[in-house]
Amino acid sequence: MVERDTHYSPTGVRTAAQIDAGLRSYMLTVYNYMAIALAVTGFVALGASQSQELMQLIYATPLKWVVMLAPLGMVFFFGKALNSFSVAGAQMFFWAFAALMGLSLSYIFLVYTGASVAKTFFVTAAAFGSLSLYGYTTKKNLSAMGSFMVMGLFGLIIAMVVNIFLQSAMMDFVISAGGVLIFAGLTAWDTQKIKLMYMESDHSDVASKKAIMGALTLYLDFINMFLFLLRFMGNRE
């Protein structure tokens, strides 16, 4: 007996409702991956910060450069090598990246009070949720805004490098404010891009890899928005 494919109408054409349901399922997968990665990062960062020996090993030796720079290298590598990974391999790479990010961010629990870190996290979560919802639901094409935000991001990086030498408090404030605004805009734009990447005809492996890459993109938006907000809201130890 041949079972009828419940994803299609009797005519073999997917209805709008079925396509919408597939899109919602795909986006839920993206958000689930992202949430798990954030949880991994948070637990690793908090756990590492509790070990004085580990903190000394990371931040008092050349190992700190590996911990700080390796996540950036992993992002570039992952983007180019994603197609060569299996779905399970891509997942494992994503979790390893999230854990390494946790190590690189463990310092925040030494610099800021736990209460202010938690408060900033929940503010970031609320802002991220609203912005991502806007990006998902808006009918407006956000490409122009996204391109502007990307240019702003390059400018932000240059300003941060310059301020390493200037040590200007005013420039640091401008950088922090600009960082929050830029990653707020990128959150909405990236959500729309991820939504538009969905195709109901994708093979399950392709859809899973797209979901992981989308989760990585939104994860980075969230982490960066959190770090820039922490510069405003964080109470130092």
Regions of the chain where pLDDT drops below 50? 1-12
pLDDT at 10: 44
How far apart CA 3 and CA 142 sit, in angstroms, is: 42
- Mean residue pLDDT of the chain comes to 89
Q: What single string gives the DSSP state of each residue in the chain?
A: -PPP-TTS-TTS---HHHHHHHHHHHHHHHHHHHHHHHHHHHHHHHHHHT-HHHHHHHHSSTHHHHHHHHHHHHHHHHHHHGGGS-HHHHHHHHHHHHHHHHHHHTTHHHHB-HHHHHHHHHHHHHHHHHHHHHHHH--S--HHHHHHHHHHHHHHHHHHHHHHHH--HHHHHHHHHHHHHHHHHHHHHHHHHHHHH--TT--HHHHHHHHHHHHHHHHHHHHHHHHHHHHHHPPB-
pLDDT score, position 67: 83
Please write the tens of the pLDDT for every residue from 111-132.
999 999 999 999 999 999 999 9
What pLDDT sits at residue 83?
A: 85
Determine the pLDDT at residue 193.
Answer: 95
pLDDT of residue 235: 83
Residue extents of the structural domains in the chain: 16-233
